[in-house]
Chains A and B, each alone.
Chain A
């Protein structure tokens, strides 16, 4: 099933600032909601998002329960070289999703 959607350009000029949009499928359960019986629904969120460019971390976000469900994270990075953009989401209960996007830089 679709765990995440990544929108990043497939090619760019060297030095160009590129825009990246990511969407992750995740309920981001806050830990503050209760069932109809009054029991607390345990927290279950994505805790960290990382973007790596040819293995080097270029952008990292620590997420808290205040981030909305199915989180959007949109940011920029500089197109430095041809290679692979790698995106990783890590969270509670062993949640871990990785997506990659190749990029050609002229």
Chain B
């Protein structure tokens, strides 16, 4: 990673006056990939054996399938995803002018479906929505996460940061306590990662299937015995925005594999 790209988020921090108290220094950021065994990494590295590719293939089929009363496919407006979607997922969650708040990739897909295709939105965490998100995000694989924050999106970033640093649940734990302060430690035998969402939607061995960042966050919240937010909740999207911004510059790995 070049000096320029490493400085950019730091410069942005100073300009926007964002606190960088217990944050992981950019040079010490590690993807969850590095905390896995050699064998599990091999599953991710080989497209021929990565189960996430089954969803990516499904996503490709859906990309080309006509939908809604307009009978339009994603491809009809966006053409070949390999070119048109390159770099897109890297910018998500992104600010949506119409709803005046950031939206994640899944929400963006549904906004397109309802507004442009005049089709029913796909249910959160449905196979179809995951497949489309995986297909689109796969087109950014290898590219650095690139979340740009401006005056419009800053309040949402702050809200996400506040959630990340606030103690919650019956266990009274803040995300930052494990993922900023105790990464590389262990929780019940499993390594604590830095919680960078570089590979979503990803194939999680625990789920025996592909799932979204929101599914993982809801799992974490349940894990600290907090009331989990519903899919698509602003609290979750703000947190996703913060987590992705915190991982700026790290390479996208979708479809990643994780334990």
Contacts and interface: CB of A to CB of B under 8 A. Distances in A.
Chain A–chain B contact at Cβ < 8 A: yes
Interface of A: 1-2, 5, 7, 21, 23, 25, 27-28, 68-70, 72, 74
A23 B49 contact: yes
Nearest to B128: A1
B208 A27 contact: yes
A5 B58 CA distance: 11
Contacts of A70: 51, 54, 203, 208-209
Contacts of B48: 5, 7, 21, 23
B53 interface: yes
Contacts of A25: 51, 54
Contacts of A69: 51, 208-209
16 contacts: A1-B127, A2-B54, A2-B58, A5-B48, A5-B53, A5-B54, A21-B49, A23-B48, A23-B53, A27-B208, A69-B51, A69-B208, A69-B209, A70-B54, A72-B49, A72-B51
Contact of A5 (B57, B127, B203, B208): B57
Given A1-B61, A21-B48, A72-B49, 20 more contacts: A1-B58, A1-B127, A2-B54, A2-B55, A2-B57, A2-B61, A5-B48, A5-B54, A5-B57, A7-B48, A21-B49, A23-B49, A23-B51, A23-B53, A69-B51, A69-B209, A70-B51, A70-B208, A70-B209, A72-B51
B202 to A, nearest CB: 13
Given A27-B208, A69-B208, A69-B209, A74 B49 contact: yes
Query: Could you say which of B54, B203, B208, B209 has the most chain A C-beta atoms within 10 Å of its C-beta?
Result: B54
Interface residues of B, number: 15
A72 B51 CA distance: 8
Nearest to A74: B49
A7 B51 CA distance: 13
Q: Which 10 A-B pairs have the closest CB atoms?
A: A2-B57, A70-B51, A69-B208, A7-B48, A21-B48, A25-B54, A1-B58, A72-B49, A2-B58, A2-B54
Contacts of B203: 70
Interface of A is mostly: loop
Contacts of B127: 1
Contacts of A2: 54-55, 57-58, 61
A75 to B, nearest CB: 13
Interface string B45-63: 0101101011101100100
A99 B54 CA distance: 14
A92 to B, nearest CB: 17
A37 B125 CA distance: 22
A20 B131 CA distance: 25
A69 B127 CA distance: 15
Contacts of B46: 21
Nearest to B203: A70
A69 B203 CA distance: 11
A8 to B, nearest CB: 10
A70 B210 CA distance: 11
Nearest to A1: B58
Nearest to A72: B49
Contacts of A7: 48
